[in-house]
Amino acid sequence: MQTVSVNLGPRSYSIQIIAHETLGWLTFLKSALGHTRKLFFVSDTHTTTLMQKLRDLSLGAYECNHAIIPAGESSKSMAQFSFLLDELAEFGADRQTGVVAVGGGVIGDLAGFAAAAYNRGLPFIQVPTTLLAMVDSSVGGKVGINHPKGKNLIGAFHQPKAVWIDIGSLVTLPEREYLSGLAEVVKYGVIQDPQFFEFLEQNTAKILKRDAAILRQIVARCCRLKADVVEKDEREETGLRMILNYGHTFAHAFETVSGYGHWLHGEAVAAGMVYASRLAEKKDLIPASITERQIKLLSEFRLPVKAESGWKIPDLIEVMKRDKKAQAGRLRFILPVKLGEVRALDDVTEQQVAEVLAP
Ligand SMILES: NC(=O)c1ccc[n+]([C@@H]2O[C@H](COP(=O)([O-])OP(=O)(O)OC[C@H]3O[C@@H](n4cnc5c(N)ncnc54)[C@H](O)[C@@H]3O)[C@@H](O)[C@H]2O)c1
Ligand SMILES: [Zn+2]
């Protein structure tokens, strides 16, 4: 078992990373939840089996109930949020009741938001089952749902009491979802850790085979790197947390212009990082070789490294100007200054963006 500690004073918690074991589950729950007697599990229709396994293991020690949500981003909705609150009330949940989210980022964000809101906050346990959720969404305490006017527009900060990551659950994850999660993994190397980037370069074959030992190391390193950022900027106030948005200004534009779901988020981030890196070259921050290494690694992970030809550059730029990272319509980008270090720049011109996007 590997443990990553997230140090946030009274909201500190630990992330347990295991592979194909369930032995420590009850001990894990007890140490995370103390006197809790009731557990409310939430899964989606693709993670029900994983959820039921953990629920069955818990039955001897806890009164358990569960809700199953339709799989997909559209479940991060007011309707599903409201459904979970109804189910919690029906279950007679009180402030001691633990909410356990078993699923990808959608279930973590939705169940976490219900846990944050019900009774002014219930103890929350994350059991991420996608690579993206393991390395990104389950760490950091952001929970929420979408509004027709914007993604993640309604939400809260609600740190989990603990996170349980079983690498074994990745076995059933569809290939495209898995590869998409690898884009965020590559991101951590570029923004924070050049040795980790090299480690990825040297282990692509094992990574593509989902080798459990390698994945355990990778997930642990990514959780540590994200925790380092979150510990210094828990509520996104100092600006440090922004470095996690490397590649995301372009990604957001690709996702919006092509319609959400055309590309998976990680696919958009992969191409987005390449364009951000090209911008850094244009501003003489880095040599072209740093972009080339990212292109090579992302391509080995079968991720897109350029925008689709039909997307119009003015449309993409228009979205970027509306991005929440833009300040008063001024474009803001997180750009590498070397491998393992990025900086926020807001003196990038539309002309420069158009130039890197030009085919
Ligand atoms: N809170 C945060 O800090 C944060 C950070 C990044 C992303 N997010 C959010 O995360 C969401 C995306 O997360 P995601 O990529 O995990 O998507 P997801 O939860 O939709 O999961 C992707 C697909 O994989 C399926 N799935 C999950 N685990 C599986 C398994 N082990 N085996 C087989 N199928 C499985 C799901 O049912 C779904 O169909 C977005 O809503 C995004 O906004 C949140
Ligand atoms: Zn992302």
Annotate 336-358 with DSSP letters as a single string. Answer: EEETTEEEEE----HHHHHHHH-
Query: Which ligand is closest in space to the CA of residue 249?
Result: 2
Residues 168 and 186 in one domain: no
Specify the length of the chain in residues. 359
Tell me the residue type at 122.
L
Give the ligand 1 atom nearest the CA of 143: 1
Which tokens go with 228? 């380092």
Element (H, E) at 103: strand 98-103
Q: Does the CB atom of residue 146 touch ligand 1 within 6 A? A: no
Residues 126 and 14 in one domain: yes
Element (H, E) at 67: strand 63-69
pLDDT at 149: 85
Across the chain, how many H-helices and E-strands are there? 14, 11
35 CB-side CA count, 13 A: 3
Which tokens go with 340? 């393992």
Residues 324 and 187 in one domain: yes
Residues 103 and 116 in one domain: yes
> Regarding beta strands 63-69 and 38-44, do their DSSP bridges make them parallel or antiparallel, or are they unpaired?
parallel
Is 90 one of the catalytic residues? no
Q: CATH no. for residue 277?
A: 1.20.1090.10
Residues 156 and 181 in one domain: no
The domain tally of the chain equals: 2
Q: Which of 66, 76, 224, 226 is catalytic?
A: 226
- Tens-digit pLDDT string for the chain (359 aa): 799 999 999 999 999 999 988 889 999 999 999 989 999 999 999 999 999 999 999 999 999 999 999 999 999 999 999 999 999 999 999 999 999 999 999 999 999 999 999 999 999 999 999 999 999 999 999 999 999 888 899 999 999 999 999 999 999 999 999 999 999 999 999 999 999 999 999 999 999 999 999 999 999 999 999 999 999 999 999 989 999 999 999 999 999 999 878 999 999 999 999 999 999 999 999 999 999 999 999 999 999 999 999 999 999 999 998 876 666 778 899 999 999 999 999 899 999 999 999 98
Q: Does the CB atom of residue 49 touch ligand 1 within 6 A? A: no
- Of the residues 119, 142, 172, the one at which a domain ends: 172
- Of the residues 147, 172, 197, the one at which a domain ends: 172
- Report the alpha-carbon distance of residue 210 to residue 323 in Å, rounded: 34
Residues 147 and 183 in one domain: no
318 vs 245, 287, 301, 349, 351, CA distance in Å?
Answer: 18, 28, 30, 13, 13
Residues 211 and 254 in one domain: yes
- Of the residues 144, 172, 200, the one at which a domain ends: 172
Q: What is the dihedral of CA 340, 346, 349, 350, to 10 degrees?
A: 90
Query: What's the first-to-final CA gap in the chain, in angstroms?
Result: 47
Q: Is 151 annotated as a binding residue?
A: yes
Residues 64 and 85 in one domain: yes
Residues 152 and 283 in one domain: no
Q: Are residues 189 and 197 in contact, defined by beta-carbon separation less than 8 angstroms? A: yes
- Report the alpha-carbon distance of residue 222 to residue 66 in Å, rounded: 30
Q: Is 106 annotated as a binding residue?
A: yes
Q: CATH no. for residue 141?
A: 3.40.50.1970
Q: What is the 3-state composition of the chain as percent helix, strand, coil, each rounded to the nearest 5?
A: 50, 20, 30
Q: Which residue has the tokens 């951000």?
A: 276
Angle, CA 78 vertex, CA 75 and CA 83 arms, to 5°: 80
Rounded to the nearest angstrom, the distance between the alpha carbon of 152 and the centre of ligand 2 is 12
Element (H, E) at 180: helix 175-192
Residues 146 and 186 in one domain: no
17 vs 29, 63, 139, 211, 216, CA distance in Å?
Answer: 14, 25, 13, 14, 7
pLDDT at 330: 80
Is 248 one of the catalytic residues? yes
Residues 14 and 84 in one domain: yes
Among protein residues, the one with the nearest Cα to ligand 1's atom 33 is: 173
Rounded to the nearest angstrom, the distance between the alpha carbon of 31 and the centre of ligand 2 is 31
Q: Which of 248, 278, 293, 332 is catalytic?
A: 248
Domain with 242, as residue range(s), is 175-357
Q: Does the CB atom of residue 255 touch ligand 1 within 6 A? A: no
Residues 165 and 220 in one domain: no
Q: Does the CB atom of residue 236 touch ligand 1 within 6 A? A: no
